[in-house]
Amino acid sequence: MRAAVVYEHGPLGNIVLETSYREPTLRPDWVRLRVGACSVNFHDIFSRRGMPGIKLPLPLIIGSDIAGEVVELGPEARGVAVGDRVLVDPVFPPLGMIGERYDGGRAEFCAAHPAQLVPIPDGLSFEVAASIPSHTRRLIA
């Protein structure tokens, strides 16, 4: 799988484009998404640069504002179907923020819990949907 991976914090050049990186682990109650789009936000920049006093798990695929299509269900995943077009709510309380605490969307595939998924209406592009999550969360938080 192609993925933009951060192995160490620092400048933009620390993002490494891998052409055969491991695919995300599919937990029993999670789903695998084919990433359609992943926008850039301030969390991505902070995660790459490193945040003072906060250690992030490295290597890390950054990218927290994600939209894509469900391509695989874990055996215990509920409430979603293969083929669903969704955006990912980036904050999942048990783990934290996707692309910051666990691998995110700057890859061909990512994994998420069904509780994080919001259906995308027909006619709304992945690019537009991926521009919504972090900004909306800030407005309603």
Distance from C-alpha of 63 to C-alpha of 71, rounded to nearest angstrom: 19
Where would I find the H helices in the chain? Answer: 42-49, 126-130, 133-140
For residue 5, pLDDT over 80 is answered with yes
Three-class SS state of 13: helix
Average pLDDT over residues 90-104: 91
* The pLDDT value given to residue 48: 82
Q: Which domains does the chain have, with CATH numbers?
A: 3-140 (3.90.180.10)
pLDDT band at 135 (very low <50, low <70, confident <90, very high): low
Average pLDDT over residues 63-73: 97
Position 50, amino acid: G
**Residue (of 105, 109, 82, 86) closest to 24 by Cα position:** 109
| pLDDT, averaged across the chain | 90
pLDDT band at 86 (very low <50, low <70, confident <90, very high): very high
> Global pTM?
0.90
Q: What is the pLDDT of residues 115-130, one digit of tens each?
A: 999 999 999 999 999 9
